[in-house]
Amino acid sequence: MLPLRLHEVSPPRLVISAAAEWFQVGGRAPVVLETRVPLRRLLLALGELKLRSPSAVLPVTAAFEAGWPGERASATAAAMRVYTAVHSLRRLGLRGLLVRRRRGYVLDTDIHIAAPESGFPPALAAPHEDLAHSA
């Protein structure tokens, strides 16, 4: 009998559409954020930061500015909005991937931002294409 070996398990890959209308973790169903604009902005800011500078952390103040550009709020109110948005993103599928660091938040996974023409999630694009071809 061979001894059990612990293999390093890589985190699931996160795919974010170009404007963050949706995201998909690994082989799970895509999550549509089409109408949740602050969540989209925050997720895209986190994704782009991860691609530009993999070890960088998005500070809470920058997260607020990304999610609610041009809005003013007290530091406490801004932090609560960011906290609530992060909680929502985690609940929607990013639990364990969107993590808090000492100075802010970071996506702790491989990131891919889909091409701009990918307005529909992969699982939703096929039926629309099939309808177009059958017409």
Q: What is the pTM of this model?
A: 0.79
pLDDT band at 130 (very low <50, low <70, confident <90, very high): very low
**8 Å CB contact between 119 and 128:** no
Three-state DSSP state, 3: coil
**Is 9 or 15 the better-scoring residue by pLDDT?**
15
Enter the DSSP assignment of 120.
S
Residue-wise pLDDT for 43-61, tens only, equals 999 999 999 999 999 999 9
Relative orientation angle of helices 75-89 and 37-52, to the nearest 10 degrees: 80
Domain boundaries, the chain: 14-134
Q: Which residue shows structure tokens 């530009």?
A: 52
Residue-wise pLDDT for 71-118, tens only, equals 999 999 999 999 999 999 999 999 999 999 988 999 988 888 876 665
Tell me the DSSP string of 29-97: PPEE-TT-HHHHHHHHHHHHHHHH-TT--EEHHHHHHHHSTT----HHHHHHHHHHHHHHHIIIIITTT
The torsion defined by the Cα of 77, 38, 103 and 23, in degrees rounded to 10, comes to 150
Tell me, which fold does domain 14-134 have in CATH? Arc Repressor Mutant, subunit A (1.10.10)
